[in-house]
Chains A and B, each alone.
Chain A
Amino acid sequence: MQETFLQKRLRDLAAIGVVGIFMFPLFWWALTSFKPMSAIFDKDRVVFFDFVPTFVNYAVTLFGKNRGELAIDSGNTFATSGAGAYDSRPTLIDSLIVAIGSTAVTVILATLAAYALSRMQFRGRQGYLNWILSQRFMPPIAIIVPVVFMFHYLGLRDTRTGLIIVDTLINLPIAVLLLKSFFDDVPADVDEAAMIDGATRFQIFWRVVMPMVKGGIAATAVLCFVFSWTEFLLSLFLTNSIRTLPVKITTFVTSTGSEWGFISALGTSAIIPSFIFILLVQKQLVRGLTLGSLKE
């Protein structure tokens, strides 16, 4: 059926509408982060662009400035509270270490496991696969209390290592299953051709098959990174002094009021590392996510 001009326009409009609906909260959040408190809390009207942009929220959360000083500098005497509690630089570093660390560990372990599950026949292989899958059935909150105790006695509570381990545990099953399907897409003949060419099992894995599933590895890494970056519950229970971003942000809601400016500034900044990470692996990612359908 030929599409009429109107239909085409309507479809474009619908697409723009959908994107708009999804993007608006992000836009509003980013906008809020540049607003002075008076614009955020204006109860008489919705403030879009008629405010004087301020970088106070970023200066406090990302650069550790004292709001009191900044307020005096800018002639705003409304705010007085101290700076230390809102300086989020250590949080960003903790979050990055935990997310990158757990992603790296997950991807390394999962790639090896997935290759083995895809290629090697061993006793209990199917049972093992089911067992991996079953790890996803249970919500993390069901195990949180024993994990807290275990980590406490192991000295892993309130450590980055502890968080890396726990995020890895949560991510591993899905990463293994996902990567296995990518390995399954590479015909076993390729392994055999390499075997005849004289490659050892590890050389086949490292030099032949793994480079062929780069896209899948990238896609898996993105999922793991985003999960770890946004993980809240386990971090909340397992840490005191170390704070990952989602936990840190909740501390901005205090008994004396919610610091919406800081929350939005940190929230907006928190998108950036994920964004950069996805940009880095984007080329691989598109291939990874469409690998199954583009088989040659």
Chain B
Amino acid sequence: MASVTINNVRKSYGKTEVVHGVSLDIKDGAFVVLLGPSGCGKSTLLRVIAGLEPITSGDISIGGTVVNTLHPKDRNIAMVFQNYALYAHMTVYDNMAFSMQLKKLPKDEIKKKVDWAASILNLTPYLDRQPKQLSGGQRQRVAMGRAIVRDPAVFLFDEPLSNLDAKLRVQMRTEIKELHHKLSTTVVYVTHDQIEAMTMADTIVVLRDGVIEQVGKPLEIYDHPANLFVAEFIGSPSMNILSGEVASENGVPVVQSNGIALPLPMSAKVAAGQKVKFGVRPEHLRPTLGGAGFPAKVSVVEPTGPEIHIYADVGTQEICAITQERLELAPGADIRLVPELSRIHLFDPASGQIIGT
């Protein structure tokens, strides 16, 4: 077990810099998820921690030791790959035992460790099989078994669930989390799937184009996105963003957008005439059939079961509202949408940064 410190790390391939000076503190025993769209540098960052790629500048320490030039095997880390990267010609047992066989540990010690890992991962009946005789989920567990027998200070996961089908993914998500509880080893986990990130992480690190956009607990990031990118990236359906200009209506600050006035809380730190982007999550838009709120025209209604997703046009822009009320709505219907004042986000259109409300 160990903390991981990344200090102003840069990574270039030739002239292209893909990680631009990232700094991050990962506490001992934490489950940190690196989240971002493809090409944001999250996998590169993970490979840099693993030592599979050299860093261009900066420092990486694991457990207080700077590991910049250490070989991967000496960093006391274990990594689980997206495509499992199992040794196809070896049995499950040998896959897990390989690292210990290389260290020439005594056979009974190896067996004890493999049996222990297999029992944790429910792989005991499959130890004599070859990877090709296993299902996707089982293969993924073998890859994890190979990692845990090494008793590493840090687990690195590189999109481990993206090759699994949806149902199995949910199940493995829980298993990985349980495993983390059992072993309480530091985990750095890379994914582009925000649900995985939200459900598993203690801390989410949102990356874009090789830069950290925000670091925080899952709900913190969801409720208080630091900028427009995080706001739009996290959440599905994603946050409604409306461009407009601050005005005052009867002494109450509003945002004029698409011919409607969106109310703002009195505390909003904006001045009249200021251009802003107004953000509100679909579940914080309450649809009503009359009365308060701004008008919208229903275009699509998607009942998901627990809730109904309503897509509606406001001027030329489509926005989404989510309600648990059983509203009888047909496309073309006129509704009104009431934003929850305390859940409104305002962003500066130029920088994309949040403006206090």
Contacts and interface: CB of A to CB of B under 8 A. Distances in A.
B78 A212 contact: no
Nearest to B139: A296
Contacts of B71: 195
Given A187-B85, A212-B88, A196 B132 contact: no
A296 B98 contact: no
A190, A194, A196, A199: residue with the most chain B Cβ atoms closer than 10 Å: A196
Interface string B131-151: 010000000000100100010
A192 B79 contact: yes
Contact of B73 (A198, A212, A214): A198
Given A187-B83, A189-B83, A296-B132, A196 B88 contact: no
Given A187-B83, A192-B52, A192-B81, A197 B99 contact: yes
B85 A192 contact: yes
B89 A196 contact: no
Given A199-B102, A203-B102, A296-B132, A194 B87 contact: yes
Given A192-B85, A197-B146, 18 more contacts: A189-B82, A189-B83, A190-B85, A190-B87, A192-B50, A192-B79, A193-B79, A193-B81, A195-B71, A195-B72, A196-B52, A196-B78, A197-B98, A198-B99, A198-B102, A199-B73, A199-B102, A211-B89
A208 interface: yes
Given A198-B73, A203-B102, A208 B87 contact: yes
Nearest to A193: B85
A195 B99 CA distance: 9
B105 to A, nearest CB: 11
Contacts of B79: 192-193, 196
Interface string B81-96: 1110111110000000
A88 to B, nearest CB: 41
B197 to A, nearest CB: 22
B103 interface: yes
A125 to B, nearest CB: 15
A197 B85 contact: no
B77 interface: yes
Contacts of A199: 73, 98, 102
For chain A, the bracket of interface size reads 10 to 19
A194 B83 CA distance: 14
B87 A212 contact: yes
Contacts of A198: 73, 99, 102-103
Contacts of B143: 193
Contacts of A193: 79, 81, 85-87, 143, 146
A190 B89 CA distance: 12
Nearest to A210: B89
18 contacts: A187-B85, A189-B81, A190-B86, A192-B50, A192-B79, A192-B85, A193-B143, A195-B72, A196-B72, A196-B73, A196-B77, A197-B150, A198-B102, A199-B98, A208-B87, A212-B87, A212-B88, A214-B89
A197 B102 contact: yes
B225 to A, nearest CB: 33
Contacts of A187: 83, 85
A188 to B, nearest CB: 9
Contacts of B103: 198
Interface string A100-123: 000000000000000000000000
A203 B71 CA distance: 15
A44 B204 CA distance: 92
Nearest to B103: A198
Contact of B89 (A192, A203, A212): A212
A211 B83 CA distance: 19
Contacts of A196: 50, 52, 72-73, 77-79
A193 B83 CA distance: 11
A195 to B, nearest CB: 5
Nearest to A187: B83
Contacts of B150: 197
B98 A195 contact: no
Contacts of B89: 211-212, 214
A208 B72 CA distance: 17
A40 B72 CA distance: 72
Interface hub of A190, A193, A194, A296 (most chain B Cβ within 10 A): A193
Nearest to A197: B99
Nearest to B84: A189
A198 B71 CA distance: 9
Contacts of A197: 73, 98-99, 102, 146, 150
A61 to B, nearest CB: 43
Interface in A180-238: 187, 189-190, 192-199, 203, 208, 211-212, 214
Interface in B55-86: 71-73, 77-79, 81-83, 85-86
